Chain A
Amino acid sequence: MALLVIDKLSKSYGTGHTKVEAVKNVSLRVVAGEIILIMGPSGSGKTTLLTIAGGLLKPTSGHVYIEGTCTTRLTEKELPHLRLTKLGFVFQSFNLLGALTAQENVALPLIATGMARAQALAKAKQSLEKFGLSNRLHHLPSALSGGEKQRVSTARAIVNDPAIIFADEPTANLDSKIGHEVMEMLCAIACREQRAVVIVSHDQRLEEIAHRVIEFEDGEIKSERAGKHGKTCQHTR
């Protein structure tokens, strides 16, 4: 079953001469355990596609289905709950809350669901331990390295057990070694936990973990090819 279905999705801004079509009639299906890499130049509309698929922006036309639910028909009040329970986000600039420790940052989505703080912190601790950050639980983001921040951000993205992870330039601010660690992490999330991972990036190294690579340009899918996942993945062997 496809976890994510994007059906004839378009997004335009402005009208008349000032009209800009950021996304044009895009369709896409992503199944469980699959990693999709969307690549393209800056301004090609790939981040707009990601934000619409992530329920953060309304399309001009077309639909997005997440586990069979048409999210484009959900109201502004219903969308936060969908994001909280079905989706996880990994950001380029980590977007950790500066006042909170690593553990508290990871606990945040659980707190949003109404879980008791102690229980949320315990679950966040387990999640961070899986990412090798058991010795960084009580550190503020300012005391963490770039790689550690991205691992905390990823732990936060999956702590609520979402079906789909959306990652926006997850390796952009990281050196090659740490970038590779993050790639491994995303690969493991897809293969071991059978989540769908949609990555938007300029970083061609990410092709190594992708099942499919989609070239995006001027708001459209220009081409699609197989990634190198089968050759490099250590998790499915």
Chain B
Amino acid sequence: MFWLAIRNLFQERTKLLITIGGVAFSVLLIVMLNGLYQGWNTMMGSYAASIEADLWVEQKGVGDMYHTLSFLPDDLEARLEQTPGVKNAFPYLGRSVLFTLNDKEVTLFIVGLNPTTGVGKPTMEKGTWQTLSAGEIIIDAAFARNNDVMVGDTLSIAERDFRVAGISNGGNLVTSQYAFIHFDDAKTLFQLGNKVNFYIVQLAAGASAATTEQAILDRFSDTNVLTKNEFVQKAKSVIQDTFLPIIFILDLIALLVGIAVIGLTTYSATIEKAREYGVMKAIGFNNRQLLTLVFYQALIAGLIGYAVGVALAFPIGIAGEQYASAFLTNIRPFDLAWVFGLTALMVLVAAYIPVRRISRIDPAEVFKN
């Protein structure tokens, strides 16, 4: 039956190309949307995941680090280090800053970096963070590319000039990027006074995260303590909460487009070949065999469309990122697997109507000329 399905499909090459194109488009759309979602999701959390922290301490009741400000007293560091289970506590400064560059408004998430401890350090593409001095800034490669900024250029942020001392990577937050200035500069720029934003806690050897977390909460009631994983998930939450429902709807639309394309082309091919199916019935093919034939035809077209869609997704993802830095895709094998399952579903649903039509074909009709 499989070879017969292939013969039938390739007899109508234009129709086959339309079917494959429709499925490929549908698969491409689903893979790219989910690739973008995963890319953004990963990117939002990747910097936080790179920081050597066991626990994050933040002000009680704040949301994610990119959209709400956490304020904690700067004298908490010493008290935290006296808490059982805590080896080190480091103050962490970071907030989004909007400023004008080349006559347009841009946003950076600026981190105050202490070059002595290196806590919250960036991954460098050009230059080093260890020599970061006052009045200097390390910007993300995506920001540099988007705004045509190079090492040695000057950025004016909140009426202060910062010389670009290095380029980092892995800090693209889609709508903004990470930048790193000296810890003391950050404290002045953010006008924090005797406050800091977060504390990063490293545990003593053998200490339990849960016990230490509880110990901190018991001592400092105005704080909230997150494990590293919880903090990363919180950083990602903005993408998950905002984009996931949109992506779900777009995926659904793409799925329906795919079903419609395979369904319509398979159905019209079935109508055109109704007489041939009638002949096969008259010869002695049973309904089950003919239904298998139609299903195979839809399946083959679906699989080729899937392969083409997936094959196109990778170069389009790479080209897209070159064109727009926000076009960050992360196409995971797991996503390809479930999109494959979705394609199979597409095929099953699309084959249903032609299959019903075939089961109703009267073989006696083939004697009418």
Question: Residues on A close to B: CB < 8 A?
Answer: 47, 50-51, 54, 56-57, 77, 80-85, 87, 89, 91-93, 95, 97-100, 104, 108-109, 111-113, 117, 156, 160, 168-169
Contacts and interface: CB of A to CB of B under 8 A. Distances in A.
Contacts of A109: 283-284
Contact of A51 (B8, B10, B364): B364
Nearest to B3: A117
Interface string B252-295: 00000000000000000000000110011111111101000000
A81 B289 CA distance: 12
B7 A168 contact: no
A80 B7 contact: no
Contacts of B280: 97, 108, 112
B369 A80 contact: no
Given A89-B283, A98-B276, A111 B367 contact: no
B284 A97 contact: no
A99 B279 CA distance: 14
B7 A100 contact: yes
A48 to B, nearest CB: 8
B282 A83 contact: yes
Nearest to B12: A99
Closest CB pairs A-B (n = 10): A84-B284, A99-B11, A56-B364, A83-B284, A80-B286, A99-B7, A51-B364, A95-B279, A57-B364, A112-B285
Given A98-B11, A99-B11, A100-B7, A47 B286 contact: no
Contacts, number: 70
A109 B279 CA distance: 11
A111 B4 contact: yes
Contact of A97 (B10, B279, B364, B369): B279
Contacts of A57: 364
A95 B284 contact: no
B366 interface: yes
| Secondary structure call for the B interface | helix
Chain B interface extent, by class: 20 to 34
A81 B279 contact: no
Contacts of B135: none
Contacts of A54: 282
A186 B152 CA distance: 95
A62 to B, nearest CB: 17
Contact of B367 (A82, A91, A97, A98): A91
A168 B286 contact: no
B283 A56 contact: no
Nearest to A140: B11
A117 B3 CA distance: 9
Interface string B282-324: 1111110100000000000000000000000000000000000
Contacts of A91: 279, 366-367
A80 B279 contact: no
Given A57-B364, A77-B286, A89-B283, A95 B275 contact: yes
A89 B3 CA distance: 24
B3 A108 contact: no
B170 interface: no
B115 interface: no
Contact of B369 (A89, A93, A108, A112): A93
